[in-house]
Amino acid sequence: MDPRRIGVFGWGVVAPGASDVDAFRDALARPESWLTPFTGFGPSNFLVGEPAFDFADYKSWIDARFPPSRFGLLDRKFGGPSKFAIGAFIQALRQNPEIEAELRELREQAQVIVGGGLTDITTYDQIGRDLDRAQRRWNRFWAEPERNAALREHLAGTSDPSAPADPATVDALDQDDAQDAWRAHWAARSDGLASYLAALRKIERVDIEGDVDSAKAAVIKHKQRAARELRASWGAPEAPWDQVSASALWNIASTPSSQISMLGQITGMCFAPFAACSTFGFALKLGIEAIRRGEAKLVVLGATDPSPNPISVGTFYNARVLSHDGEVSKPLTGLRGTHVAGGSTIWIIGDLEHYLAKGWIPLGLEPVSVGITADADHIITPSKDGAVAAIRIAMAAARVQPSEIREFDMHATGTPGDHNEIQVLRELLPETCRFSARKGTFGHGMGAGAGWELTAQYLGHATGQYYPTTIEWEELHPEIRKVHGRFAFREGGPAAPGVVGKLSMGVGGVNACVISRSHR
């Protein structure tokens, strides 16, 4: 018996140069890169994919369903990945007008599976910067001689052999670090700080008594007021622990999926898979399997990534996979590296036959199977065996032969790995298969990128046109031209109906291959 068929009934996109799926479709028709200069280090030679997004675009939708305070709370407390995912989810609800009510009414038979490739680096980076500034102020205050008997003794000639070097005695380039080390050392020995902490302990020892619900708020207010009065009596700066935003908790990895469940009032399983660049394929596989097992009728799935940040850009660069010459590094060409990008892709998939009977309209193509493997080999360099196995698993599950696959979208990051990938694909797929590579257009979204690429593949087939890429034949790397010659180039072309594939290869050696076909 054939497995239960799957349809895509809603989708939403937040991507570089495209704030929604309609803008995404329009931009795909132009063979241009959507990358822009990165300014996070000041002037530099990095290009990145900065998502086009304004959370205010979704205010009216949220205001129509929740108290007036809800939008402001979401805007204040949550970072880019959650907001991008919320925006893409709201877009997806608009594709078929009955989806929103159906997700609520299905209760446990509707699920949310939204993960990512990178967590909310931007939020945690800002929290870290704020904490560092607060810690410096704190140490400077308690390291002053008037609040520090140990330092006064040291300066009077009773030397502390464990004391770091006096900042005035070190080279100019090292003085900032030396000053920090000096202040941290003496703050830890401050008798003033010891007295302050003793008083603070007494404040914090107040227990909640009587009715818990009514007493809780009163105790918290009492502690906060007493702590403020203690700090004012010393003239001390705010303690560093008071400067750590609660956003560190609100923006954990599972937050985007949980926010979608709350906004959509979806009470089934809510889960956040993280499989680097293969996350979208993993989420799609989990969603397909939940529907085929009869555990769900609809699944909201996808991936979301933060905007490019100095940490993410610097990390990729020092992993030797990022281009830094101020020009677009196109896949399959110079192999100079990739470009960090942020945004989100959300799909809503469902039992195809069930919702066709309700008059719903499926989008794009029919996802048939997903093959998943792990290389178990290297943190950054994909293995041939893992990718080959993922493709073979997907083809076997879809019951298709290599000769049936007309088009195939590559992972292709513009690194030397492109050459290995094209060799892998040609071991399995015929020379008649057309390959596409799109990271020169919108960059490399760790989790969301594969979703952008799949959505582009599906949108192209829906219109009968395979969207152009940024690549021209003459630009292909000579070694790649030796292996294969049929690619999607700047001129685009008609989409071949039938079976198509998509490969993702993630950091850590995780692979996902998606096989899809035209609706029949």
Phi, psi of 143 (to 5 degrees): -90, 0
Give 192-222 pLDDT, tens digit per residue.
Answer: 999 999 999 999 887 867 776 777 788 788 8
CATH number of the structural domain 6-120+251-517: 3.40.47.10
The CA angle 18-23-29, to the nearest 5 degrees, is 105
The CA angle 341-342-343, to the nearest 5 degrees, is 140
pLDDT of the residue at 339 = 97
pLDDT of the residue at 222 = 86
Rg of the chain's alpha carbons, rounded to an integer? Answer: 27
User: Which of 437, 439, 434, 438 minimizes the C-alpha distance to 487?
Assistant: 434
Judging by DSSP bridges, how do beta strands 405-409 and 499-506 pair with one another? parallel
pLDDT of the residue at 465 = 87
Q: How far does the chain reach from its first CA to its final CA, in angstroms?
A: 17
Give 259-292 pLDDT, tens digit per residue.
Answer: 999 999 999 999 999 999 999 999 999 999 999 9
Give 81-138 pLDDT, tens digit per residue.
Answer: 999 999 999 999 999 889 999 999 999 999 999 999 999 999 999 999 999 999 999 9
pLDDT of the residue at 1 = 42
Helices (H) and strands (E) in the chain, counts: 20, 16
pLDDT of the residue at 292 = 97
**pLDDT tens series, the chain, 520 aa:** 458 999 999 999 999 999 999 999 999 999 999 999 999 999 999 999 999 999 999 999 999 999 999 999 999 999 999 999 999 999 999 998 899 999 999 999 999 999 999 999 999 999 999 999 999 999 999 999 999 999 999 998 887 888 888 888 888 888 899 999 999 999 999 999 999 999 999 998 878 677 767 777 887 888 899 999 999 999 999 999 999 999 999 999 999 999 999 999 999 999 999 999 999 999 999 999 999 999 999 999 999 999 999 999 999 999 999 999 999 999 999 999 999 999 999 999 999 999 999 999 999 999 999 999 999 888 877 788 999 999 999 999 999 999 999 999 999 999 999 999 999 999 999 999 999 999 999 999 999 999 999 999 999 988 888 899 999 999 999 999 999 999 999 988 888 889 999 999 999 889 999 999 998 7
pLDDT of the residue at 212 = 66
The CA angle 472-446-127, to the nearest 5 degrees, is 135
User: Which of 421, 447, 418 minimizes the C-alpha distance to 341?
Assistant: 447
Q: How far apart are CA 79 and CA 248, in angstroms?
A: 10
* pTM, two decimal places: 0.94
313: its two tokens: 């850009």
Three-state secondary structure of 171-182: CHHHHHHHHHHH
pLDDT of the residue at 2 = 57
Q: How far apart are CA 265 and CA 298, in angstroms?
A: 13
For CATH 3.40.47.10, list the domain ranges present in the chain: 6-120+251-517
Q: How far apart are CA 277 and CA 269, in angstroms?
A: 23
